[in-house]
Amino acid sequence: MLTSTDGRSWTSATVVRQPGVDLRDPRFVLRPDGRLQLLAVAATGETTKEFQTMTWLSADGHAWGDRVPVGEPGVWVWRAAWHEGAMYGVGYATREPRFARLYRSGNGIDLQPWVPTLFEGGYPNESGLVFDPDGTAVCLLRRDGDAATAQLGRAGPPYRDWSWIDLGVQVGGPTLLRLPDGRLLAGLRLLDGEVRTAVCAVDPERGELTELVALPSGGDTSYPGLVWHDDLLWVSYYSSHEERTCVYLAEVGLTG
């Protein structure tokens, strides 16, 4: 964990580790009680990997409680978001049969399947999830395999029935953010001949992604995080365009 007061000078707040386990792809979840929640997956095994999603809680980002397994073994809960007193998370199966699953929890710990088969076909996996002010849930879903185009899903309460639009483009590491002015943004890796990490505008009604900013990136690059702060979009991501793979933080001004 790294912390900073200005976004430029960073120091280590703590190290989260589990002996003998590969902890992968951590994600923060902001809880309504003010605490910070961390989601990551524990990968074990040498030749055949086993995956279990884990979570930790912290009041200050420095001291973290014990890890707690959540969800189901073999279903990787990628991201989660709170809405109306419940946490929802989208997980995906790490083995055949491949599917995406929506979980729900009243405490953020006891994740239970809410929509057992949220999506299947084309190896659905990583996702971004947001809730609009009117309660509509929006999910941006990566796919791989033969059918690798991303999907955009929408559902109203109670989020049992989803409609999906094929976006016609392959993406990686998606995340979603609704701006104060109502615009919906996606941070993702675009794979359309030139690999890059980018920020896109999302039109859920028309099912369109419009690239706004191509961040300095290339090679092995992805997994942006988006935060709106002081009227700027802050984007964290990693890239290998400067030979060594590094983590970057960009401040992006958006107009219109």
141 and 14 assigned to the same domain = yes
Asked if 230 and 237 count as a contact pair (C-beta separation under 8 A), the reply is: no
Domain CATH code at residue 49: 2.120.10.10
Residue-level pLDDT at 256: 67
Per-block mean pLDDT, blocks of 10 residues, the chain (256 long): 96 95 97 98 92 98 97 98 98 97 98 99 97 97 95 98 98 98 98 94 96 97 98 98 95 90
The DSSP code for 117 is: E
- What is the helix (H) or strand (E) element at residue 199, kind and residue range? strand 196-203
Nearest partner of 217 among 187, 196, 247, judged by Cα: 196
Residue-level pLDDT at 96: 96
11 and 52 assigned to the same domain = yes
253 and 138 assigned to the same domain = no
Final residue in a domain of this structure, among 168, 195, 222: 168
CA 185 – CA 241 distance, rounded (Å): 24
Instruction: Give the pairing type, strands 50-58 and 36-44.
Output: antiparallel
Residue 173 falls inside a structural domain: no
146 and 225 assigned to the same domain = no
Residue 84 falls inside a structural domain: yes
Asked if 155 and 104 count as a contact pair (C-beta separation under 8 A), the reply is: no
Residue 246, beta-bridge partner list: 239
9 and 97 assigned to the same domain = yes
Residue 194 falls inside a structural domain: yes
15 and 99 assigned to the same domain = yes
Asked if 101 and 50 count as a contact pair (C-beta separation under 8 A), the reply is: no
Q: What is the count of structural domains for the chain?
A: 2
Residue-level pLDDT at 193: 86
Q: Which domain holds residue 191?
A: 181-256
Q: What is the DSSP string of 40-97?
A: EEEEE-SSS-EEEEEEEEESSSSSB---EE-S-TTEEEEEEEEETTEEEEEEEESSSS
